[in-house]
Amino acid sequence: MGTKKPEWQSNSNSSPQLPSNDTTYKRIYAIVKKIPAGKVATYGQIAALAGMPRNARQVGYALHHLPENSGIPWQRVINAKGEVSRRTWSENHLLQRILLEAEGVEFDDAGRVVLARFRWKPR
């Protein structure tokens, strides 16, 4: 008799998602809150700092479930290429770029952030 997989590891066709009150989400949110204005972190970087290396998608799921007006700077999390990830369900990728540029983050002609310059390096 096998053990039941947590909901977020189910084999269903929908995207795996942790419950929003899960401690994993809370760890992710606590780390994202520490990213200063003018800096960015990658989904993978946040996952590693949360003790979940190689689980960058979980960070994306957590940020997708952020309550509106949470005060968590979700816009500071980008993909490993230095790009703002496009969303199929909204135009938030455009808003994300606008918010980052307002904080002083610069994009090159290819739409990428130079991570060597703008990546957050926590102490």
Could you report the per-residue pLDDT of 67-88, keeping only the tens digit for each?
888 999 999 999 999 999 887 6
Closest CA to 61 of 23, 103, 19: 19
In eight-state DSSP terms, residue 1 is -
What fold, for 17-118?
Arc Repressor Mutant, subunit A (1.10.10)
Instruction: Give Cα 100 to chain centroid, integer Å.
Output: 14
Give the pLDDT band of residue 42 (cuts 50, 70, 90).
very high
Residues 87 and 93 sit within 8 Å (Cβ to Cβ): yes
4-28: pLDDT as tens digits:
433 333 334 444 444 444 789 999 9
Would you kindly state where each structural domain of the chain is located, as residue ranges?
Answer: 17-118
Per-residue tokens: 116: 């060597």
3-state SS string for 23-86 = HHHHHHHHHHCCCCCCCEEEHHHHHHHCCCCCCHHHHHHHHHCCCCCCCCCHHHEECCCCECCC
Q: Rounded CA gap, 49 and 52, in Å? A: 7
Long-range pairs of 55-59 with CB within 8 A, sequence gap ≥ 24? 56/80, 57/16, 58/8, 58/18, 58/24, 58/28, 59/28
| pTM score, whole prediction | 0.80
How high is the mean pLDDT of the chain?
A: 84
